[in-house]
Structure 1
Amino acid sequence: MSLKTLLKEKGYHHIKLGYTKTNHLELVAKINDIEGNFILDTGASSTCVGLEAVGHFELMAEDSDIKAAGAGASNMLTQIAQKNRIEIKGWKKKKIDIVLFDLKHVNEALTNHKAEKVHGIIGADILKKGKAIIDYKNKSLYLK
């Protein structure tokens, strides 16, 4: 029995992943029913959206005490958008808080490598909620 068959029997949703030109896993997700491009980052504690995409996803931004760090930048000011819906290929969760911060440094790195810009990052918070299993060989994410 394949991993895909086994996990489908256990109620997991299968999500096909792609790789960016920078070798990051990428996927399409919907926030509040609006589609966007995301990097899958197991090292990011929170799911994030770039400040420039706040309008795209119709997010209600509030100031936050959280300071973001990572990908060569640290101590960045953030905002938070609370109680959002997220959907990834049929897997859905409500009441998701999303951290909002400047993703320009991430998108510059991607465009410097002729990769597509992203709206945000799917982080460990979503992966935990979905009991995620990542199959790197078959470029697949499974969420329950």
Structure 2
Amino acid sequence: MKKIILPLKIRLIEDDGCHITLCAEINGKNAELLVDTGASRTVFDLERIKAFVSASDFKPHHKLSTGLGTNSMETQAVMIESLTLGELLISNHEAILLDLRHVNESYSQLELPEIDGVIGSDILLAHKAIIDFAKRKITFYIEQD
């Protein structure tokens, strides 16, 4: 197994909470992603993803999603050719697209940078992620050929 270690940013939320984010690349362009162990799937913001893929490639996603502070919502999907987390390359990832405007509006009010998406438990579990808050690092593991 190969170990890939990435730095985490800890974003203070008000007086007593925090969110963690990491830098990634979507189709070769820099992206900021929230790490959310409570999110079942990795999702991307419906508007911000347009900086990385063409909206003409969006397709309806016929399952309702819940979470991220909302009730059930309809979603769309798009194929992301490459999602890169350090040396971890995830190719041809079917990305679920949600309106994350409410998250980014909250970040703006707190004078925090907006996020492009959320890394969820699907990717965290598949790559045996370990979050180390003390060292502000996340470790992913990949099978070596």
1:83, 1:95 within 8 Å by CA — same for their partners in 2? yes
Structure 1 residue 57 corresponds to structure 2 residue 52: yes
In structure 1, the residue matched to 2:21 is: 26
Q: Report the structure, 1 or 2, having the larger strand content.
A: 2
**TM-score using structure 2 length:** 0.86
C-alpha displacement at 1:83, in angstroms?
Answer: 5.2
C-alpha displacement at 1:43, in angstroms?
Answer: 0.8
Which amino acid is the alignment partner of residue 70 of structure 1?
Answer: G
Partner SS, residue 20 of structure 1: strand
Which amino acid is the alignment partner of residue 42 of structure 1?
Answer: T
Unaligned segments of structure 2, at least 5 residues: none
CA RMSD of aligned residues (A): 1.4
Q: Structure 1: which 4+ aligned runs deviate by more than 6 Å?
A: none
* In 2, Cα distance between equivalents of 1:52 and 1:58: 10
In structure 1, the residue matched to 2:42 is: 47
2:27, 2:80 within 8 Å by CA — same for their partners in 1? no
Partner SS, residue 21 of structure 1: strand
Unaligned segments of structure 1, at least 5 residues: 1-9
**TM-score using structure 1 length:** 0.86
* Identity across the alignment (%): 28
C-alpha displacement at 1:111, in angstroms?
Answer: 1.4
In structure 1, the residue matched to 2:6 is: 15
